Amino acid sequence: MDPLSDVLSLLKPHSYKSGGFDVGRYRAIRFPKYHGIKCYAVFSGQCWLSVDAVPDPVLLKAGDCFLLSSGQSFCLATDLSLAPVDFDKFLSDVKENRRFSSRHAAAADCYLVGGYFVLGGSHAEILLGSLPPIVHIRDESDRAAMRWSIEHMNAEVRDPQPGGSLIAQQLAYMMLIKALRLHLADVARGGVGWLFALADPKMRTAIACMHDGPAHRWTLKELADRVGMSRSTFALRFKEAVGATPMEYLTRWRMLLAGDRLNNSDDSIAVIALSLGYESESAFSKAFRKVMGCSPRQYGRRQNPDSSSQRAEEAARPYRFESVGTD
């Protein structure tokens, strides 16, 4: 897999609800804080997006896509002068009056499609920490790249067919990955971190080498040779792009893989250590403690996959507003 796919797979995003959502023509709705990442596109109409701690609202037009990852409360409004209605009140109104159903939304209404993802992995900051509070995909070329997913998501929601829920979830995941890819291309020149470094072909190749062979005894010279750069130039450019040295990045990636194995496999610490290039369990444990802040045994005990999954599901439950109007 490529590095972005590697990280997303490690984080194990789960789509708890995906589908359509009708803001309406004259309405402002305030949504509560959340855990994870939200990815939506405006299929028709337009509205304003306001996020707590972000000074200015963002105007979203038909064809625009946006990502929210800060966890902060936010508001969607077709008119900024309107007083926002809390989500719970809005949901109650929807249940009482089905004319607000997305299935009956008029063409002029502001109608959104997308999904909400809880990151099941224990290192969500890898992705969320690389993103601004609002990622707004609005360039015409970017909107064209998203159009197929948006139109098919809308079709699945408006005309439910057998298996439609599963298709909608996959389409939402596709939208998320495409939006991340477009954001990466848009801000590559100014960002620092592994996500932005992927936009640089040489840095992407170096990161891919480390991801493809985490057990390999990589040296700075070997990585520099792989990307056709001198050792000193490569080291400087990698640090500037990623914010860490190549060896620091490699160690961090190995420990993230190890943490995932400790959570989701029955492999012993010795087996995990050997699979990641460490000749002894003690050397591996020392590196693990330095990066993860605890020993592998302590990490494995406190990171129970079942309880993590349960906590993620419980965190997601109050915010499953995507089901509104799709019944």
CATH topology of domain 194-305: Arc Repressor Mutant, subunit A (1.10.10)
The CA–CA distances, whole Å, from 14 to 40, 128, 156, 173 equal 15, 15, 19, 9
Confidence at residue 91, expressed as pLDDT on a 0 to 100 scale: 76
Task: Give the per-residue pLDDT at 105.
Answer: 44
List of residues 6+ apart from 231 with CB closer than 8 A: 220, 221, 224
List the pLDDT tens digit at each of the 327 positions of the chain: 677 888 887 777 776 778 888 888 788 999 999 888 999 999 999 999 999 989 999 999 999 999 998 889 999 999 999 999 998 888 777 666 654 444 444 445 899 999 998 886 656 777 777 788 999 999 888 888 899 989 999 998 888 888 888 888 889 888 998 998 888 777 655 566 777 788 788 999 999 999 999 999 999 999 999 999 999 999 999 998 888 999 999 999 999 999 989 988 889 999 999 999 999 999 999 999 999 889 999 886 655 544 444 433 333 333 233 333 333
* Listed residue (14, 3, 322, 58) closest to 181, CA to CA: 3
Residues 19 and 323: beta-carbon distance below 8 Å:
yes
Same fold, 13-187 and 194-305: no
Alpha carbon separation from 37 to 57, 81, 205, 284 (Å, rounded) = 19, 27, 27, 32
Domain boundaries, the chain: 13-187, 194-305
User: What pLDDT was estimated at residue 16?
Assistant: 72
Model pTM? 0.73
Other CB atoms within 10 A of residue 130 CB:
18
Count of helix runs (H) and strand runs (E) in the chain = 14, 10
We find that the CATH architecture of domain 13-187 is Sandwich (2.60)
pLDDT of residue 301: 60
CB 221 within 8 Å of CB 235: no
